[in-house]
Amino acid sequence: MSQLRPTLIAIALTLAVATPAQAAVAAGPGITVENGRTQPVFSYADAVREHVYVESTVDSDLDGKLDRVRVDIIRPKESGPGLRVPVIIDESPYYDNSGRGNESERKAYDEAGNVTKFPLFYDNYFVPRGYAVLNVDMLGTTRSDGCPDMGGKADVLGGKAVIDWLNGRAKAYKSDGTPAVADWTTGKSAMIGKSYDGTLANAVAATGVKGLETIVPISAISSWYKYQRSNGVIYNYDYVRYLTNAVDTDPDAKCQQVRDGLHAEDGDDTGDHNRFWAERDYIAGLLGDVSKVRASVFVVHTVNDLNVKPDNFSTWWKELADRHVPRKIWVGQTQHVDPFDFEGRRDLWVDTLHRWFDHWLHGVRNGITQEPRADVEIGPAQWITQRDWPAPFALKASLRPASDGSLGLKPAKKNSTASFTDVNMSENDMVADVGTADPGRVAFTTGALPLDLRLSGTPTADLRVKLDKPTSNLTALLVDFGEATRVDWRRGQGITTLTEEDCHGESTAADDGCYRKVVTNVATRPLEVVARGWIDVQNRDSLTRAKPLPVGTYGTVKWLTLPQDYTFRKGHRIGLVIAGTDSTYSDETGTGANVTVDLAKSSVTLPFVLGTPLADVPKDTARFHGPDQVELPEPEPGFHFF
């Protein structure tokens, strides 16, 4: 008995210590999974709302101190050392200016400086399911230190510092200056967001930071050069200085020196790719590149987004695929629109995102990675799923222009040419009345198609030209001529917001999870510009070093247009328009060069879905005359802003 007593006492003491902890755990909910999804077992109303300042590794405002990143946090009340939760991050420069989402929501704060209203539905939906949601103010914006630098060092390393802090590799402080420790998280994180927010997700992922498990870039930039340039053609002059000032709500004087420095480096005088743009390239850049990406990637973009043009997603997607990065994609047909606002897809989007995060952050085996990789919109609010994007096994077909204005499969006769002058010309004028000669463009069309042809991927323009001046801007437009009802992406970004709401997640009086529904805008028109591509001839061989084309000498100019996924309907005609400077999408002026196109050695190559009988593409023997003037409305104000 004497030998048993110490053992019994030890057991009793152990139980006395363990019982309160066990009781505390039992008193609150834990992560619950049913049907492959985490369940809403945590109270949204009782969630912890706090904020910290994470110390970055940069001093972007040049004040001699490392910038601190403001991080607003909402997490389950039960989260802590005994229940660690993963994190969903939306880092943005827009929380106190343009706001987030279709309803332009901004943060709201209580007297203690904590956020009472988190924009968007992520907090309402995911916090009850065992996640923390972080709204991060990009450096130089809202309540963070520093100056924004349009995708450069400060933008990238500020977000990376937050991931590092969540994993114990960086410091953070509370408002009173005391250290803040993220002892409530597993360190597993996701970054999500539309436009600039999604761009930051791409950028941070490209650093290879550990702990970032997945990103969901929506309408996001992968190369700022592609955002503001196309093969040497400048979309907007002085855009760097404009955007960095637009997102910064501090007094103008604070970051004026920084903005002036960025402007001096942006190369607006040439349009060439330089070190400034290399720093802001997340595919093969100076701060990071696609080879370093550890995170899985769920891409969402639209083929008619002419703000963040779709080559930003298509190039990024291909590079991810080449490296076998786990990935998923949704490809829509509206303009700069969040998938939450794709008509008829809201519930599916929320559920798909939920399962994606559950898989990568909570380790739930729900089959999300075994499903078809791509969801593709093929008509107004009409979607299909397929194994990948572009459509697998697409067959490339080259269509060739001829001197009679036709476009077919056979090369034109030797020495056939067509000429135009590089002048400023709107896209509307380029595609209007293509059966009539115009000194500013040349146009070619097929005959009426005997069947539907689906283009999926990126067309290639391949022209042989000579100039009477050292350079010219070139525009190539692929056009669908034929009356049809299509997505009207030019009006309201392609959607109309209704008054009726639906809700996703829990609500409080200060922050509900309810948002207005939308419908897709459609319009019936006689034509649609399907794909667009621009190049400065002197950048035909290199984006970093201009090389004028010797006057009077033919040279090959080959480049990719913007990608598309589009079906040319039976009875319609495919058109190719070649012109000079596109005043709709570029601030440049025409060079005045006379451009001669060698038709026999020029073509446009289109990726058509396998199985389409391309031999049936007819030659246009009877010239097609379009309407006297086709007026496509210009994109709405704010087009070049996020």
Choose between 370 and 613: higher pLDDT.
370
298 close to 327: Cβ distance less than 8 angstroms: yes
Enumerate residues 6+ apart whose C-beta is below 8 A from 66. Answer: 55, 56, 57, 58, 59
Please determine, for residue 595, whether its predicted confidence score (pLDDT) is greater than 80.
Answer: yes
Q: What six digits make up the tokens of 615?
A: 């031999």
Please determine, for residue 233, whether its predicted confidence score (pLDDT) is greater than 80.
Answer: yes
Tokens 């924009």 -> residue: 119
At 621 the pLDDT is 40
CB neighbour class for 269 (10 Å; exposed up to 12, middle 13-18, buried from 19) = exposed
Q: What share of the chain is helix, strand, coil (3-state, %, to 5)?
A: 20, 30, 45
Instruction: State the greatest distance between any 2 C-alpha atoms of the chain, in Å, as a whole number.
Output: 112
* Confidence at 249, pLDDT banded by 50, 70, 90: confident
Separation of first and last alpha carbons in the chain? 78
Q: What percent of the chain has pLDDT over 90?
A: 90
Average the pLDDT over 66-72 and give the result: 98
At 623 the pLDDT is 32
Angle ∠(492,336,286) on CA atoms, nearest 5: 155
For residue 74, what are the CA distances in angstroms to 41, 49, 379? 15, 5, 39
Residue 474: strand, helix, or coil: strand
Tokens 């909402």 -> residue: 74
Q: What six digits make up the tokens of 61?
A: 């405002």
What DSSP string runs through 184-227? Answer: TEEEEEEEEEETHHHHHHHHHHTTT-TTEEEEEEES--SBHHHH
For residue 368, what are the CA distances in angstroms to 37, 41, 187, 351, 361? 11, 22, 22, 11, 13
Q: pLDDT tens, 521-579? A: 999 999 999 999 999 999 999 999 999 999 999 999 999 999 999 999 999 999 999 99
At 393 the pLDDT is 86
Q: Tell which residue, 445, 388, 406, 416, has the closest CA to residue 607.
A: 388
165 close to 171: Cβ distance less than 8 angstroms: yes
454 close to 554: Cβ distance less than 8 angstroms: no
Q: pLDDT tens, 308-356? A: 999 999 999 999 999 999 999 999 999 999 999 999 999 999 999 999 9
Average the pLDDT over 244-253 and give the result: 94
pLDDT, the chain, mean: 92
What DSSP string runs through 317-328? Answer: HHHHHHTT--EE
Please determine, for residue 15, whether its predicted confidence score (pLDDT) is greater than 90.
Answer: no
Q: What percent of the chain has pLDDT over 70?
A: 91
* Confidence at 618, pLDDT banded by 50, 70, 90: low
**Which range (18-27, 28-37, 561-570, 615-624) has the least confidence?**
18-27
> In whole angstroms, what is the distance from residue 56 CA to residue 72 CA?
16
**How many CB atoms within 10 Å of residue 473?**
30
Amino acid at site 343: E
Q: Tell which residue, 217, 236, 218, has the closest CA to residue 227.
A: 236
The torsion angles phi and psi of 440, rounded to 5 degrees, stand at: -100, 0
Please determine, for residue 617, whether its predicted confidence score (pLDDT) is greater than 70.
Answer: no
**Which range (4-18, 30-44, 339-353, 386-400) has the least confidence?**
4-18
What stretches of 273-362 adopt beta strand conformation (E)?
A: 296-302, 327-332
Average the pLDDT over 46-72 and give the result: 98
> In whole angstroms, what is the distance from residue 463 CA to residue 398 CA?
12
**Which range (7-21, 315-329, 594-608) has the least confidence?**
7-21
- Which residues are tagged catalytic? 195, 305, 336
Residue 430: strand, helix, or coil: helix
At 636 the pLDDT is 47
Q: pLDDT tens, 70-109? A: 999 999 999 999 999 999 999 999 999 999 999 999 999 9
> In whole angstroms, what is the distance from residue 522 CA to residue 343 CA?
12
- Assign 3-class secondary structure to 89-149: EEEECCCCCCCECCCCECCEECCCCCEEECCCCHHHHHHHHCCEEEEEECCCCCCCCCCCC
At 641 the pLDDT is 43
Q: Residue 617 carries which DSSP code?
A: P
What stretches of 342-436 adopt beta strand conformation (E)?
A: 374-379, 382-386, 395-401, 407-408, 417-421
Q: What six digits make up the tokens of 43?
A: 């109270």
Residue 628: strand, helix, or coil: coil
Please determine, for residue 508, whether its predicted confidence score (pLDDT) is greater than 90.
Answer: yes
Please determine, for residue 9, whether its predicted confidence score (pLDDT) is greater than 70.
Answer: no
Cα 552 from chain centroid (whole Å): 41
CB neighbour class for 273 (10 Å; exposed up to 12, middle 13-18, buried from 19) = buried
Cα R_g (the chain), whole angstroms: 27
Q: Tell which residue, 88, 89, 82, 87, has the closest CA to residue 30.
A: 82
Average the pLDDT over 465-487 and give the result: 98
Tokens 């990009």 -> residue: 138
Please determine, for residue 610, whether its predicted confidence score (pLDDT) is greater than 80.
Answer: no
At 12 the pLDDT is 37
Strand-pair category, 603-608 with 460-467? antiparallel
At 11 the pLDDT is 31
Q: Tell which residue, 516, 479, 522, has the closest CA to residue 381.
A: 522
- Reported as half-sphere exposure (CB side, CA atoms, 13 A), residue 282 has a value of 32
